[in-house]
Chains A and B, each alone.
Chain A
Amino acid sequence: MTDFNYHEIDDVIHSRIRTAIMAVLISVDEAEFTFIREKINATDGNLSVHLKKLEEHNYISVKKEFIERKPVTRYKITEIGRKAFEDYIKKLESIIKR
């Protein structure tokens, strides 16, 4: 039996809120800020910080536009993000199977 190695866990994803954001975005094509907020029950400020972190690591991409004069921000998971999330899930599964 190999013991758990925390270095193998992606710490960009390994935060409750960022994992939840990634789980939402991997399930849809793209989502608005408000949709993510509703799905994970986060506050605007908290969500923004975590989205920024994911964006800085190129795990998600952002598109900002104006619809009927209102600013709308849409998020989409990138290929890097998809791969990282899949690896993260595999890692969790391997922990369970040990």
Chain B
Amino acid sequence: MNELNTNITTKAEKEISVIKQIMEDSRKAVVENGWHYIYWGSIVTAAIIVNYLMVIYSISMYAQGMLWFFSMPAAAIVEGIIERKREKREKVKTFAGKLINSLWTGAGVCMFILGFAGTVSGAYSANMIFPLISIVLGSAYLISGVIQQVKWLSAISVFWWGGAVVLLLMPGMHSMLIFAGMLVCFQILPGVFLYVKSKRELATQPA
């Protein structure tokens, strides 16, 4: 009887170990290939440069507001269309993927509200928009890195928060350019790294 019990226990242990391995492997399905980071990083950087030129050429604040009011929702719609097509082709939908989508949708809405509350309501100066957005981005990066189990992605939050402090302490027109530089370094480049990483992972997977 003792031998039978030992046998059953060994089988149960093996079963649990196989189950754990399958679960871990399935959870590893790529949740983010970096294109969102590249897409939004490039669009917002381009909008900032246009906005900066508008300031230089003394184009009205109203026109500057409209630039953001139309370009950001339009970019979100285009992203939604691309994402819908991509989702349909995906072989697996993970909880991590759902969490990432919700996190960045929430962060995007927060940034949109912060951006427009500043310019329209006059609650705070337009110079404060970029540090506030940097704080939101820092938090989003921290959580994204944890969900995706990519430590360096979480570490980027420190740079966003550090940048926010610099922008808060030294407000001014140059804050636009500093923020654009932050976008290139802490959004577009990480996006490119993630993209390359996901391509490599896909190449090693069976067809």
The chain A residues found within 8 Å of chain B, CB to CB, are 1, 3-4, 19-20, 23-24, 26-32, 34-35, 38-40, 67, 89, 92-93, 95-96, 98
Cα distance A75–B13 in the bound complex, in angstroms: 27
B22: chain A residues within 8 A (beta carbon): 20, 23-24, 27, 39-40
Main secondary structure of the interface of B (DSSP, over half): helix
Q: Which of A3, A34, A95 has the most CB of B within 10 A?
A: A95
A92-B12, A92-B16, A96-B13 known; A31+B91 contact, CB < 8 A? yes
17 residue pairs A–B, Cβ–Cβ below 8 Å: A1-B5, A20-B18, A23-B18, A24-B22, A24-B26, A28-B92, A28-B94, A29-B92, A30-B92, A30-B93, A31-B93, A32-B92, A67-B89, A92-B12, A92-B16, A95-B9, A98-B5
Interface residues in chain B, defined as those with a beta carbon under 8 Å from any beta carbon in chain A: 1, 4-5, 8-9, 12-13, 15-16, 18-19, 22-27, 29, 88-89, 91-95, 97-98, 205-206
In the complex with contacts A20-B22, A38-B206, A27-B27 CB distance below 8 A: yes
Residues in B neighbouring A31, C-beta threshold 8 A: 26, 91-93
**Closest beta carbon of chain B to A12's beta carbon, Å:** 15
